[in-house]
Amino acid sequence: MATYEDVINLALRRSFFYPASEVYNGPSGFYNYGPYGASVKRKVVELWRKLLVQKEGFFEINGAIAMPEEVFKASGHMTNFNDPVTKCKKCGVFHRADHLLKEKTGEDYKEAMNNEVLTEALRKHKVACPKCKGELSDVSKLNMMVKVEVGVTPKNIFLRPETCQTIFTDFSRMIKTMRLKLPQGISQVGKSFRNEISPRQTILRTVEFDQMETEVFFDSQKIDEVENWQDVENYKVCVQLVGKDKVEQISCNDLHKKKIVSGKLIAYYLARTQQLYEAYGFKKENIRFRQLDDEERAFYAKEGWDFEVKTSIGWLELIANNYRTDYDLGNHAKGSKQDMQYVYPDGKKVLPHVWEISIGVDRTLYAVLENSLTTLNDKVVLGLPTSLAPLHAAIFPLVSNKEEITKKAKEVQKTIEYFDVFYDDSGSIGKRYARMDEVGVPYCITIDHQSVEDNTVTIRDRDTTEQKRVNLKDLQKIMHELIFVGKKFSEV
Amino acid sequence: MATYEDVINLALRRSFFYPASEVYNGPSGFYNYGPYGASVKRKVVELWRKLLVQKEGFFEINGAIAMPEEVFKASGHMTNFNDPVTKCKKCGVFHRADHLLKEKTGEDYKEAMNNEVLTEALRKHKVACPKCKGELSDVSKLNMMVKVEVGVTPKNIFLRPETCQTIFTDFSRMIKTMRLKLPQGISQVGKSFRNEISPRQTILRTVEFDQMETEVFFDSQKIDEVENWQDVENYKVCVQLVGKDKVEQISCNDLHKKKIVSGKLIAYYLARTQQLYEAYGFKKENIRFRQLDDEERAFYAKEGWDFEVKTSIGWLELIANNYRTDYDLGNHAKGSKQDMQYVYPDGKKVLPHVWEISIGVDRTLYAVLENSLTTLNDKVVLGLPTSLAPLHAAIFPLVSNKEEITKKAKEVQKTIEYFDVFYDDSGSIGKRYARMDEVGVPYCITIDHQSVEDNTVTIRDRDTTEQKRVNLKDLQKIMHELIFVGKKFSEV
C-alpha cells in the first residue's frame, strides 16, 4: 500500500501539486495544481456533479468568494469560528494549542475546549515551542476568518470559510425565481479560506481550499418522504456508531427502522454519498461514516456523520455530513430581515430544514491518489478509475524519424481528438509507457511499421500491461466503450 | 436586437446572475451565478478548454488565488497597478477621475494620464460628485491590489489581479517536471480580484471575476515556426488597424507577409481565438481585433490586440491579446533569483517570449447571452449554441395526473440520463415550452397518450418550434447527434 510520502513524492515529481508561489518560497497553506493534478481534480468534481448533483436534480450555483461581515455575523462565524492558539514567547510563532497537546500526549484534545483548560494542560505536560523550545503563552482564541481590504467600500469584507453560506443567502431568491419545490438540494463547488494557524500535510490542511457542498432543503415533517427510496433501501452503508470500535454495514432500511438516523432522507443521502466514493474507486472496507457524539457535533447539528477513508496516515475525514435543522435559514432570515420560508400551494409556510453534504475536494483528491497508487513489476502505477484519469490515452509513434509512421500517428490523433489524448514521440517505448503509468493514463496507443501497412494500432492497458492490436477504423468505437461506457479492456 | 436591459432583466428574472449577498444588500462589484448562469458559464469554459487548450496541446494548471507580495513586486503591480481616483469632499465617495471626465466631456481620458492633468481637467470642466454634487478632491493614484489578512504569516499576501502570474511563477517547474518543449502554451481558468473604485454594469466590471488565460511561451527567434500553419494560412481574421475606422478581414498569410503582426505565431493564435468565438455563436461582422497604439499598449507589450464584440452598449472588450516579450519571465527570474531559461538539447539557452490570450469569462458570458437573446412570436428565446445551453433537454409529461404517462416520462428520463435533462410536469405545455425557451434549452421532449400506446415521443426544437415524433428506442441516438455531433434538427 502506498504511503503518504509515496503520494507526495509522485505529486512533486510530476507536478500533481506543489507549494504555491514556490519560486518565492511562498507562505505555507497554499498549493497549486499542475496539469495532471488539475485534470484529476476537475474530474473528481465532474463525477460529483454527474452522480450526486445532476442525477439528484439539485441546483448548482456559483457565488462570489468575498462576502460582507453581516453574513458571518448571522452565521455565527464572527463570534464562534475560533482556534485555540498559543504563541512562542521566544520566536513569535503561533501554534494550535490542541494540536501540540495531542502530539505530546496522544490524548484527544479538542479545539472547543476552553482557554483555561488548554493552558493548564500545556503547563502540566511541559509543552514547549516545537520550533525553538521557547516558552509558550497562555492560550487565546484566534478568529479563522480571512479579511480582505477592498478599497473604498464602507463594508467589512471576508472570504467565506465555507461555500454553503452562499447557498443559504441565495435560498430565498431560488424560491422566487427557480420554482423551487421541497425537497431541493442546492450545490456549489468553489474556494473557501480559513486562517489556519498551522497549515500542514500539504493539501490536507491549507488556508485556501476547494469545497463541493450540497444543502438539501426539506420539510422536517416530511423527512421520511423520499421519492427514490426503493433505489437504496437495501443498500448497505458503512457506519461506525458512537461508542463502537467497529464499522458495520447497515442497510438504509435498518438505519431508518432502528432510528439510527433522524429519517429516511438522511439514510438516502448517506447511501448516495457512499456510492459516489465507490465510483471514485474506494472499497467498502476502507470507508466509514463515523457517527459524531454530542461533544463533537456543532451545537446546531441535530445529527452528524464524518465520512472518512482509511489511508496510510489513518482515517482521513473527507466529508462533513450534518443535519443543520433550520439553524442557518433562521439566522439569515433574522439577520437579513427577509422571509426565507417556503410556501406550499395551499398557503402553508415552513422554514426548511437542511441536510448538508460538505465535501473537501483537495482531501478527496489526495485520498484518490493514495488509493490508486501502486507498483507493478517494481514500477509506479497510478491505477486511477478511467473516469478520473488525467488523460484518456497517449499516442506513441514507435519511432519519430520515419515520416510514414509519424503521419499515421497524427491520423490516429485526429481520429480520437474527441478524447483527451497526449502525443509523445520521445524516448523508448518502455520509458513512454512508464511515464504514462505513473500519472494514471489508462491506455497507450502505439503506431508501428505494421500500422502503416495494415492500418492497425496496438492498445496497451495500464493495469494489466496487456496489448491488443485493433483496426484503426474501430478505434473510436473501442475508445468510447472503454472511456464512456466503462467496459473493461478484456471485454473490447 | 437585445439590449443591455433585456439581458439584465432576463438575468435577474431567471437568476442567471444577480448581486452577491443580495439579501444583505452586499457591496457592489460582486455577483453570483444561479443554476442556468453557472451552467452556461461552465460551458463557456469547457468549450475554451476543448477548442483552445486541449486541441493546441496546452498545459492547464490551477493555482492558488492568494500570492505573496514578492510576486507583485516583481511583476510591477505593487507600483504600477493604480487607478486615478478623486474623493468627494462632501459625501466621501471615491470616483475614477478618468471615467467622470469621459462621461462629462465625451472625450477619451485615460487611466494612465498623470494626476495633475486629470485634476486640471476636472477643474476646467467643473466636474462635481455625481452622487451629491459635492466638490471633488485632487486626483491621486489608488493601488488596485486586494490585500488579505492571513493570520500569523509574516508575509504580505494579496489576491492576484490576473491569473497569469501563477503561470509565470510556475514556469520553471513546468520546464523541470513536465518535459516542456517550446513553443508551449500554459493555461489557467480561475478567479482574479481588482480593487475597482466604481464597479458597474453588473458582471462587466466587478471586483471579483473569472479569467481564462493562456501564456504561449516561445523562442523569439522561432516566431515564424508554427507547426499547424497550413490550418490557418487562408483563414481571415477580423482586424481594425490603428488609425483605421473600419474592420478588415485579413488572412493569416497577409497578416504575416504585410508584417501587421510580429510573426506567424501571433497570426496563428489570433485565428484560433477568433474561431473559438465563432463557436460561441458570434458572427464575423460583430467581432474585431482592435490593434492597440503605443499609448494604449502596456509599456512591456511589443504588440497588442483587444478582441471586442459588438453589443448594444458598443464594442465590448473580451480579450486582451499581448505580445509580452520576456518581460514577465525576466522580472520573475530576477525577483526570485531562479533561472527561468529554457535549455535546448544542445545546451543553448533562451528566455522565452510570451504571447498572452487573456479572456474575461464573465464578459464573454454576458456577450454570449446578449448575442443569443431574441424574440420569436413575441416570446423571449435564448438561442444559445447547443454546446453552451444550460440543459440539453426538458422532459414534459403532457399531464401529471395520469400514472401511465408519468411512468413513461420517467422511463424517457432514464433513457437519456447521460445528458443534462430537466423534468417538469407543472403548468400548460405552452408555458413549459416558454420557460425553457427563455433559458436556452434547445429541445423539449413531450410524452403524451400516444407515447404510452406506441412508444413514441415528440421532440420540439427551440429555434423553429418545429416538432418531430420519434420512437423512444431511437431517442438516445438522436440526442447524441443533436448534442454532441452537432447535427441540425432538420437533419435528424
User: Residue B15 above 80 pLDDT?
Assistant: yes
Nearest-Cα distance to chain A for B184, in Å, is: 13
Of the candidates B306, B272, B254, B252, the residue with the CA atom closest to the CA atom of residue B185: B272
Is the peptide bond preceding residue B183 cis, with omega within 30 degrees of 0? Answer: yes
**CB under 8 Å to A345, separation ≥6 — which residues?**
none
Q: Is A9 on the interface with B (CB under 8 A)?
A: no
Domain locations along chain A: 4-70+158-372, 82-143, 391-491
472547543: which residue's cell?
A: A112
Low-confidence winner among A107-116, A205-214, B414-423 (lowest mean pLDDT)? A107-116
Is residue A475 a contact partner of residue A416, using CB atoms and an 8 Å limit? Answer: yes
Q: Which residues of B touch A148 (CB under 8 A)?
A: 146-149, 159, 193
Is residue A458 a contact partner of residue A469, using CB atoms and an 8 Å limit? Answer: yes
Is residue B287 a contact partner of residue B277, using CB atoms and an 8 Å limit? Answer: yes
The CA distance from B111 to B103, in Å, is 14
Confidence of residue B282 (pLDDT cuts 50, 70, 90): very high
Of the candidates B198, B233, B177, B176, the residue with the CA atom closest to the CA atom of residue B85: B198
Rounded to an integer, the average pLDDT of A134-162 is 89
Rounded to an integer, the average pLDDT of A425-445 is 95
- Please name the residue of chain B whose CA is at the shortest distance from the CA of residue A187: B35
> What's the confidence (pLDDT) of residue A152?
66
> What's the confidence (pLDDT) of residue A109?
85
Low-confidence winner among A310-324, A394-408, B159-173 (lowest mean pLDDT)? A394-408
Rounded to an integer, the average pLDDT of B180-199 is 94
The CA distance from B431 to B452, in Å, is 23
Rounded to an integer, the average pLDDT of A199-207 is 90
Closest by Cβ to A70, choosing from B24, B150, B152:
B24
Q: DSSP code of A88?
A: B
Other residues' Cβ atoms within 10 Å of the Cβ of residue A453: 10
- Window 400-419 of A: residues touching B by CB (8 A cutoff) are 417
The CA distance from A82 to A195, in Å, is 9
> What's the confidence (pLDDT) of residue A317?
97
Distance of CA B94 to the CA centre of its chain: 28
- Please name the residue of chain A whose CA is at the shortest distance from the CA of residue B20: A64
Rounded to an integer, the average pLDDT of B67-87 is 92
Nearest-Cα distance to chain B for A300, in Å, is: 22
Rounded to an integer, the average pLDDT of A366-376 is 96
Of the candidates A199, A261, A34, the residue with the CA atom closest to the CA atom of residue B188: A34
User: Residue A320 above 90 pLDDT?
Assistant: yes
Q: Is A55 on the interface with B (CB under 8 A)?
A: yes
Distances from the Cα of B382 to the Cα of A205, A437, B43, B389, B401, angstroms: 43, 45, 15, 9, 30
Rounded to an integer, the average pLDDT of A299-312 is 95
Rounded to an integer, the average pLDDT of A302-310 is 97
Q: Which residues of B touch A142 (CB under 8 A)?
A: 151-152
> What percent of chain B is modeled with pLDDT above 70?
99
The CA distance from B261 to B289, in Å, is 12
Rounded to an integer, the average pLDDT of A101-109 is 88
A14 and B177 within 8 Å at the Cβ level: the answer is: yes
**What are the tens digits of pLDDT across the range B363-414?**
999 999 999 999 988 899 999 999 999 999 999 999 888 899 999 999 999 9
Q: Right CATH number for A82-143 from 3.40.50.10330, 3.40.50.620, 3.40.50.720, 3.30.40.230?
A: 3.30.40.230
Q: Is B434 on the interface with A (CB under 8 A)?
A: no
A151 and B23 within 8 Å at the Cβ level: the answer is: no
**What are the tens digits of pLDDT across the range B429-468?**
999 999 999 999 999 999 999 999 999 999 999 999 999 9
Mutation pick from A8, A17, A49, A62 vs chain B, by most beta carbons of B within 10 Å, is A62
Q: What number does CATH give the domain A391-491?
A: 3.40.50.800
Question: Which architecture characterizes domain A4-70+158-372 according to CATH?
Answer: 2-Layer Sandwich (3.30)
459625501: which residue's cell?
A: B91
Q: What pTM did the predictor assign?
A: 0.95
- Window 147-206 of B: residues touching A by CB (8 A cutoff) are 147-153, 155, 157, 159, 166, 169-170, 172-174, 177-179, 191, 193, 195-197
Q: Is B64 on the interface with A (CB under 8 A)?
A: yes
The CA distance from A411 to A476, in Å, is 12
- Higher-confidence residue of A484 and A255: namely A255
**What are the tens digits of pLDDT across the range A229-239?**
999 999 999 99
B94 and A170 within 8 Å at the Cβ level: the answer is: no
Round the average pLDDT of chain B to a whole number and report it. 94
Distance of CA B441 to the CA centre of its chain: 21
User: Residue A471 above 80 pLDDT?
Assistant: yes
Low-confidence winner among A92-106, A229-243, B298-312 (lowest mean pLDDT)? A92-106
B169 and A24 within 8 Å at the Cβ level: the answer is: yes
Distances from the Cα of B92 to the Cα of A420, B14, B120, B205, angstroms: 54, 36, 20, 22
Rounded to an integer, the average pLDDT of B33-56 is 97
Of the candidates A485, A454, A486, the residue with the CA atom closest to the CA atom of residue A470: A454
> What's the confidence (pLDDT) of residue B152?
66
> What's the confidence (pLDDT) of residue A184?
98
> What's the confidence (pLDDT) of residue B206?
94
> What's the confidence (pLDDT) of residue B200?
80
> What's the confidence (pLDDT) of residue A20?
97
Is residue B188 a contact partner of residue B60, using CB atoms and an 8 Å limit? Answer: yes
Q: DSSP code of B482?
A: I
Low-confidence winner among A54-58, A333-337, B162-166, B294-298 (lowest mean pLDDT)? B294-298
> What's the confidence (pLDDT) of residue B295?
84
Domain A82-143 in the same topology as domain A4-70+158-372: no
The CA distance from A404 to A449, in Å, is 9
Distances from the Cα of B127 to the Cα of A124, A152, A369, A386, B123, angstroms: 69, 20, 61, 63, 7
A59 and B35 within 8 Å at the Cβ level: the answer is: yes
Nearest-Cα distance to chain B for A487, in Å, is: 16
